[in-house]
Chains A and B, each alone.
Chain A
Amino acid sequence: MCIGIPGKILDATEGSLRMGRVAFGEVIKQVSLALVPEAQVGEYVLVHAGTAIQVLDEAAAQEVLDLLEELAESMEDRP
């Protein structure tokens, strides 16, 4: 129910209710962008119930992946 799916903004129409097309892999949906006015075309947003609720933070995602690599290496060092 509270599942949100990350999708890429393809376009945005400004207006009283900011809307835009968002691609989830192959699937494209019309989504409200009213709650993420700062989100730009090409960025990823988390979409829940037809509404984008947050812009994804690329750097934060990468940090976790980097941390996992370090962890993997340190585990190999001392099994």
Chain B
Amino acid sequence: MKYLDEFRDGEKTKPILAAIRKTVTRPWSLMEVCGGQTHSILRFGIDELLPPEVTLIHGPGCPVCVTPVALIDKALAIAATPGVIFCSFGDMLRVPGSEKDLFRVKSEGATVRIVYSPLDALEVAEGHPEREVVFFAVGFETTAPANALAVSEAKRRGLRNFSMLVSHVLVPPALEAILSSPRAKVNGILAAGHVCAIMGTAEYRQLAFHYKVPIVVTGFEPVDLLHGIQSCLVQLEEGRHEVENRYARVVKDEGNPRARALIREVFQVVPRTWRGIGPIPESGLGLRPEFSEFDAELRFGVQGVGGPESKVCQSGLVLQGLLRPQECPAFGTDCTPERPLGATMVSGEGACAAYYRYRRAGTRNA
């Protein structure tokens, strides 16, 4: 496909790799923020192509992975309510709550549907006026416009049987939490291309300046990733810390202002708890009071629902780049993608699942 295949071409990665080898003189740790990038890096073996001085740390950018247990428990309670059709992206179905997951609730008789877009959930609501239709709105800034669009459409169409369980999170506050930690060992950041497609690059300038880290907006294909890595390494070697955009075919400096205006119309910034990391102030989005009629937490009275996080799972450390997945004692034994203990083992973009798939002993790249 155009704009994908030419950036996946192995031949094109060779000169960048050669340039990277010439650039690097010292050890550097780069964090790729986005789980989609983590998945690409392991799938294409990019970490193994880099010189040994360069370490890639896998950041917290997988919305599935950071959705807290309490929110999964709320989703389970709502999905199990008679008359509800619960709609969700497919990768949320096996995320463990404190006792079950959505698959289990489904097998017990609940109506749980996998949708590809929140607008599909809107169609379901229009087609079933006698049922309550709830959409599980998880995601980063990339997904917020689609979800905001669905809510504003529901309002415009006067849909009374549609609501959203919102668990939106924002990238910059999480980055700030990681960079400001005394245990931080990140020298440079590869910023998530599709988040920046919406948000632009402005909010990263302050972070780059304050924490003296280069931040390079990077895409998802091997050529894009290596191009971003090379720019970040050049900056580090030259002692610079600027925001650069290496994904210009998709990311404009101003992002998509129309999408941002829609996000602001429907959502407001709220504190959120991140699975494994804990509460971070001003780190997520919730519905504005003007749209509270679409708030599933209020509609179903589940504000108080929610159990504690697993004691075994170390995903909080994994998400902050402080532990490698294989270093978790449960990795590949008690915890596998078939029976995950933590969300980072569920989603294909979670670091534990990516290592399980591409780096387990016995597999090609182990």
Query: Which residues of A line the B interface, CB within 8 A?
Result: 1-6, 8, 16-17, 24-25, 32, 34-37, 44, 46, 48-51, 53-54, 56-58, 60-61, 63-65, 68, 71-72, 75
Contacts and interface: CB of A to CB of B under 8 A. Distances in A.
17 contacts: A1-B35, A1-B36, A1-B64, A1-B349, A3-B220, A6-B1, A24-B1, A25-B1, A32-B119, A32-B146, A35-B145, A54-B197, A57-B252, A63-B248, A64-B249, A68-B12, A75-B14
A2 B249 contact: no
Contacts of B6: 61, 65
B16 A2 contact: no
A49 B143 contact: yes
A46 to B, nearest CB: 5
A57 B252 CA distance: 9
B256 interface: yes
A48 B250 contact: no
A14 B78 CA distance: 36
Nearest to A17: B153
Q: Which 9 A-B pairs have the closest CB atoms?
A: A50-B117, A60-B248, A61-B249, A51-B146, A49-B146, A72-B15, A2-B142, A6-B3, A71-B15
Interface string B112-142: 0000111110000000000000000011101
A1 B146 contact: no
B177 interface: no
B201 to A, nearest CB: 13
B315 interface: no
B interface, by DSSP: helix, strand, loop or mixed? helix
A1 to B, nearest CB: 5
Contacts of A64: 7, 223, 227, 246, 248-249
Given A44-B2, A48-B143, A53 B256 contact: yes
B149 A46 contact: no
A64 B14 CA distance: 14
B58 interface: no
Nearest to A35: B259
B272 interface: no
A18 to B, nearest CB: 11
Contacts of B183: none
Contacts, number: 139
Contact of A6 (B4, B16, B118, B246): B4
Nearest to B120: A50
Nearest to A4: B194
Contacts of B16: 68, 71
Contacts of B15: 68, 71-72, 75
B19 interface: yes
Q: Which of A34, A36, A49, A54 has the most CB of B within 10 A?
A: A49
Given A53-B142, A61-B249, A2 B256 contact: no
B115 to A, nearest CB: 9
B223 A49 contact: no
A2 B140 contact: yes
A75 B19 contact: yes
B56 interface: no
B335 interface: no
A32 B119 CA distance: 9
Contacts of B89: 1, 49
